[in-house]
Structure 1
């Protein structure tokens, strides 16, 4: 895979945002292994993808949580003419009535990751709340460019809603969720479900989502060369998904939700992002546009936080605050749905 040079649009910015004092030493250790532009060198990308896609197996108890959840995998039909997809299904063992469900799309910049990534953290969030979780395995770029990945996710969503009774879930209480690229895919699913008159989604949980292929916001420029997943890595991810269409006027909002011209009629959204990361301004803008369209959005910008901070440094105060903020929102959404 090759990438085109990032154009110098000369967006004026100040110096990089300082990192949270607790996060800074963690970031320094991360950058020794993964520099901010880790994916920015096309020559090394195939080797990096091979190593990172191998990943590490997580212990089964990270998913069962000591028996709180039953875990199974299902192979279900993919998009028309495409391969079947795999869903990881985690159901609360104590539930006796149909439960809400989080439909999860994993992160990884569209180029790495799998259905198990990010799931233990979400299960920790919903443990004790009688909520199920379904996580989809979608095909990755560059081997599968747009629209393959998002269509895989949508096919899994439609199957989940159609088989709600079998799964013991309530099809009226489906929440799409994801972090990073998975957050962008979750936002795209909300747009697709609205436009295609698909499953009626209750809400969308978008954790530092990857929304805008144009990669030219002030924060993208300001944090270039700093943090995790900087502008060069971001370009590589978007180029893998979109090829030469990246940054042009032909990009679909189902690939890059920031391209949507109409954000009306979407389910309530929770969005969070770090102040010291590439995605800061595109996430803030997306939340603002939801409000401007008459929608509901809760936005958190965590000071001094880099991309994926709560996953990479969960012990820090700002990470614990970020994780803690998601639970009350989720409870409010579910409480409102039960009235």
Structure 2
């Protein structure tokens, strides 16, 4: 892919984000990374069994709403700490409580490990909502990249199991469809930040098989679900030049066809994950602001 397709303000941050490091190093580095702080937000840790949780709460008044957040990392690496800036600003602006879930990684822990971990985070949040000043009927589920794919699959499972439902889903560049990874002709496009070779590694490790299976396990691949009726209103943001653009657009269309209210926020010239690794740029701040405004409306009583 040619660099001139990327927004000028994202080119230099993207070059820094493009650094390729061994998986073990990335896993260690993310857990040790320095994170921003806010005098308006308390950050604590907890556990849902063996699942580590990072809990963000306003120091002042709380809105009564919550967000279960799931970080990205291609299903292979990552940590709740990598989304500290987004979580802090969302808590500051909306007065919500955020529970961010750390989950097990492929290929050491294939499906359903990560899926079960984020489900455990959801159940923990419901069980502890009252003590955190949250109405369990006003909790959204969201995430970025692989985390957004896990969020979408969790919404499917919660819908099928019944009980308290998320009020909304808040998805940034979701990794939704293993069939993209199976399209080897996409390798030649060399998408910035996250390309199809990396995508194939992530899906292969998660599924324990080559992507593109005729019948993947239920809840493993969100884009494979055929009945999307009854799911909550959805915000879905992605860049038009990233690898996931086609599958994200298709999922938005499928949700709309099923009668689900959808806001698709497509950013021209934006590579994958720009709202994270370029969070200080105007374009990233603008999309996060739009997303937070949407979420504020979605979690209103």
Partner residue in 1 for 2:106: 141
Q: How does 1:46-61 map to 2 (within 5 A)?
A: 48-56=22-30, 57-59=32-34
Partner residue in 1 for 2:246: 281
Residue 331 of structure 1 and its aligned partner are, at CA, apart by: 1.9
Q: 1:318 aligns with which of 283, 287, 291?
A: 283
Q: 1:70 aligns with which of 42, 54, 57?
A: 42
TM-score (norm 2): 0.92
Q: Distance in 1 between matches of 2:238 and 2:111?
A: 25
Partner SS for 2:24? helix
Residue 316 of structure 1 and its aligned partner are, at CA, apart by: 2.9
Count of aligned pairs: 300
Q: How does 1:141-290 map to 2 (within 5 A)?
A: 141-215=106-180, 221=186, 224-244=189-209, 246-290=211-255
- Indicate the structure (1 or 2) with the bigger Cα radius of gyration: 1
Partner SS for 1:143? coil
Q: Distance in 2 between matches of 1:54 and 1:228?
A: 19
Q: Which has more helix, going by share of residues?
A: 2
1:109 partnered with 2:40: no
After TM superposition, the structure 1 stretch with the greater mean CA deviation from structure 2, 161-170 or 14-23, is 14-23
Q: 1:85 aligns with which of 31, 45, 51?
A: 51
Unaligned runs of 5+ in 1: 1-13, 39-47, 78-83
Q: Distance in 2 between matches of 1:23 and 1:120?
A: 18
| Closer/same/farther in 2, CA of residues 123 and 278 from structure 1, 3 Å limit | same
Partner SS for 2:280? coil
Residue 50 of structure 1 and its aligned partner are, at CA, apart by: 0.9
| Closer/same/farther in 2, CA of residues 219 and 197 from structure 1, 3 Å limit | farther
TM-score (norm 1): 0.82
CA RMSD of aligned residues (A): 2.4
